[in-house]
Structure formats: structure tokens, C-alpha cells
Amino acid sequence: MNGQLQEQVLDRAAALARVGGDLDLLKEIAALFLEEYPRELDDLHKAMATGDARLLERTAHGLKGSVANFGARAAVDSAFQLERLGKAGKLDQAPPALAALERALASLHAELSSIE
């Protein structure tokens, strides 16, 4: 069961394939992501607080691309949902998607931190 959960959070094989099997490069990309994503989450919260649909859309789009590099399906799906809501100007519907993204990112953070 634990292996299945990890596959849902991080598709290690897909992530390694994206970097040509270079584990050191994957670790470096993971470290950069772990350093940067909290700022993107802050921007998402700022967008929600200020009603800035464009910032929500743009930030969610960038985050979606970043997490896709790790095959993190749940995070990709949540970021995509936020992106669509931002594009449609439906910020009132965004809090559940943001909460889901935060949960997915917390799980991804744990997985990326343990890459060896």
C-alpha cells in the first residue's frame, strides 16, 4: 500500500526519465523546487486575498509545470484546477482547490526530500 501511495505522490521513474536517468540532476531540480514552491504558494494566497485572478492563473500555471516534472499527478490536477478558476475569475471557488494543492505539495515535499 505504501508503494502505491508513493507512486501517486511522486512518479520517480517518470521524474528520472525526464532528466535522462541522472539522479544527481533530479536531486538538484528537487532541491530548487523545494526552495521555490513556498513563494509560489504565498503568491497563490496573495492572489486569493486580493482578488487577483490573473496572478492566481499565472502562478498556478507555473506551479503545474513544475510539479509535472515529478509526475506528481495530484498536485498537477489541483494546480490545473486553480489555473482554470483564475482564468474564469472564479476565485470564490478556489479555496478547496488551494487546500488540495497544499496537501499534495506537502506530500510531494516529503517524497522529494527523501530522494537518494
Domains in the chain: boundaries: 2-113
The C-alpha cell that represents 42 in the structure block:
504565498
Class for domain 2-113, per CATH? Answer: mainly alpha
Distance CA 33, CA 28 (A): 9
Kindly state the cell numbers that stand for 1. Answer: 500500500
Collapsing DSSP to helix, strand or coil, 2 comes out as: helix
Measure Cα distances from 66 to 32, 36, 61, 63, 69 in Å.
10, 10, 9, 5, 6
* pLDDT tens, residue by residue, 54-74: 999 999 999 999 999 999 999
Residue range 3-19, pLDDT digits in tens = 444 445 888 888 999 99
